[in-house]
Structure formats: structure tokens, C-alpha cells
Amino acid sequence: MASLKSPGLILKKTPFSDSSLILKVFTRESGLITLIAKGAKRPKSKYHGLLDFFTLDQFVYPAKSKSEIHTLMEVGLMRDFPRLKSDPARQSLAHVFLELYLKYVPEPEQSHPHFELLLERLGRIDEAREFDPVLELCDFLLALCAVSGFSPQFSECAQCGRTDLGFRARLDPDLGGPVCATCSGTGGGAGAGSFSARLLRWLTRLQACGPRAGRIPREEEAQAEAFLLAFLGKHAGGSRPMKSLDFYHQMLEPL
Ligand SMILES: [Zn+2]
């Protein structure tokens, strides 16, 4: 039987029968695919210790399958992300990255840029000495939007194009940008959904140069995160509930 070999990252594992696992894997060569690892839950399985989250594995699977679910033929370890496995703060953020791919990247569709982005960012939070999770997540969301072919902008009114947006402006997830006070008809009020000029400038910097944009107050970072999630949802086929965000937000709470 002709087979394919590809590096891949496990996004989700579901028990199947008493002994097997169904895996959602984002592969370099086939995009997001579903594999069944037969017998993987048995203690003496050949897959023992290989099907963890946060390892880069080489997967071998049939080139063609009658079903949507391919039978895993072989797997080999290529790279480990040890701190993602042992540090809860890093792990909670990494699980958000995995779930974003599971929920918002279409299946099946080969995309090397998507694969490289996920691999690079998992490596980055694994290796970083110190990192700010909200900054990393906002940066990841912007990068995921960019490789998916849609990006928001933060410097001009999405309706009339004016760049002097005043002290605050509303960000519109549908339009993917700020809407000035005149166009939104609010008279420039500081409503709940309005973003400060500082936050808009920070988002522009983040889009241009990544985490070197630096930190801003946590409430504003959280506001940016919520907007970017809403924007991604609007442009990638509708918002989906994200379980991993609950744990991630718990990890952000001060002890
Ligand atoms: Zn306007």
C-alpha cells in the first residue's frame, strides 16, 4: 500500500474502543488529518510514549483511504518540547494554539505556512526564558490571521479612511478595523467596546514587529485578545467555543 510520511503535531486525542485512539494531527504534507492509532492504549503498544501532545512526530499513513480516518502505520519522535509538557503556564497557552488550529484551520488542506507557524511558536514558548502569555497569544492570533489570508488593521477608520481617530475608537470585527466617532454615530463616547488610541497603536506595532511591541496594561491586552478572537471567528467561518481558553485564563489569575 502506498504510504505518506510527514512531520506532524497532535492537536487532539480521543479514546476509541478499549484500546485505540483517534488523533487529529496537523501535518506538514496533508494539513489537518484524522488518524486512528490501533492498540495505542495497550501498555505494550508500539506507540507507547510517542503520541504525546507537544512532540513533533514523523507520521506514516496510507496515501489514499476509503474513509476520512486514516490508519496510522508508524510513528517516530522528531523533537520534544519539554517545557510545554512540564510548565502549566506554557502548556495552557500551547493548548490554546492547538485548539485554534483545530477549530479555525479547514480540513483537509495542506499549508506549509500554517504548519511552520505552529511549529515555530510552540518552539518559541518552549524556549523563551520569560514570556508574556497575552502578548504571545495576540501575536499568534495576528500571525494565524495573516497566514489564513485575512488581516485586521488598526490605523484608519474602516469606513471613511480617516487616520485621526481621536482618543478612543470602536473596533469592528466584521470590518476588521476601527470605526471613527462620526461613522459610528456615537460622538466619540468611551463606550464599553471602545479602544484607546494607545491600544490601537500597540496593535499596529505588534502586527509590524511582534512581541518587541512590549507590554501594555493587562486590561488592554485582554481587550485586544478578545477582539482578535472575535475577528478570527468572523473570518474563519464563525466563532466556536474554545475549551482551552478557560484553563489559560485561570493560569493568568494572580496567585
Ligand atoms: Zn469614519
C-alpha 168 to ligand 1 mean position (Å): 13
C-alpha 145 to ligand 1 mean position (Å): 24
Give the per-residue pLDDT at 11: 97
C-alpha 151 to ligand 1 mean position (Å): 19
Half-sphere exposure in the Cβ direction for 168 (13 Å, CA): 13
Q: Show the domains of the chain with their CATH numbers.
A: 1-80 (2.40.50.140), 81-255 (1.20.1440.120)
Distance, in Å, from the CA atom of 103 to the CA atom of 24, rounded to the nearest integer, reads: 11
Give the per-residue pLDDT at 184: 83
Asked if residue 179 lies in contact with residue 207, where contact means CB atoms within 8 angstroms, the answer is no
What's the CA angle centered on 202, arms 197 and 205, to 5 degrees?
130
C-alpha 146 to ligand 1 mean position (Å): 24
Whole-prediction pTM value?
A: 0.93
Structure confidence by residue, pLDDT tens digits, 36-95: 999 999 989 999 889 999 999 999 999 887 788 999 999 999 999 999 999 999 999 999
C-alpha 70 to ligand 1 mean position (Å): 51
C-alpha 179 to ligand 1 mean position (Å): 5
C-alpha 169 to ligand 1 mean position (Å): 10
Q: What does each of the 255 residues of the chain score in pLDDT, given as a tens digit? A: 799 999 999 999 999 999 999 999 999 999 999 999 999 999 899 998 899 999 999 999 998 877 889 999 999 999 999 999 999 999 999 999 999 999 999 766 789 999 999 999 999 999 999 888 999 999 999 999 999 999 999 999 999 999 998 888 999 999 999 998 888 876 555 555 689 999 999 999 999 999 899 999 999 999 999 999 999 999 998 888 999 999 999 988 876
Alpha helices in 149-217 (DSSP H): 181-184, 197-209
C-alpha 255 to ligand 1 mean position (Å): 43
Pairing of strands 69-71, 31-37: parallel
- Please give the helix or strand (H or E) that residue 6 lies within, else none: strand 3-16
C-alpha 150 to ligand 1 mean position (Å): 21
Give the per-residue pLDDT at 93: 97
C-alpha 195 to ligand 1 mean position (Å): 15
Amino acid 197 reads A
C-alpha 153 to ligand 1 mean position (Å): 14
Give the per-residue pLDDT at 43: 87
C-alpha 178 to ligand 1 mean position (Å): 8
**195-198 CB contacts, 8 Å cutoff, 24+ apart:** 195/168, 195/169, 195/170, 195/171, 195/223, 195/224, 195/227, 196/167, 196/168, 196/220, 197/165, 197/166, 197/167, 197/168, 197/169
The DSSP string of 203-239 is HHHHHHHGGGG----HHHHHHHHHHHHHHHHHHTTS-
C-alpha 83 to ligand 1 mean position (Å): 46
C-alpha 167 to ligand 1 mean position (Å): 14
Give the per-residue pLDDT at 248: 93
State yes or no: cis peptide before 254, omega within 30 of 0. no
What residues have a C-beta under 5 A from ligand 1, the ion? Answer: 157, 159-160, 180, 183
C-alpha 181 to ligand 1 mean position (Å): 7
Give the per-residue pLDDT at 204: 96
C-alpha 234 to ligand 1 mean position (Å): 21
Distance, in Å, from the CA atom of 246 to the CA atom of 228, rounded to the nearest integer, reads: 17
Give the per-residue pLDDT at 168: 87
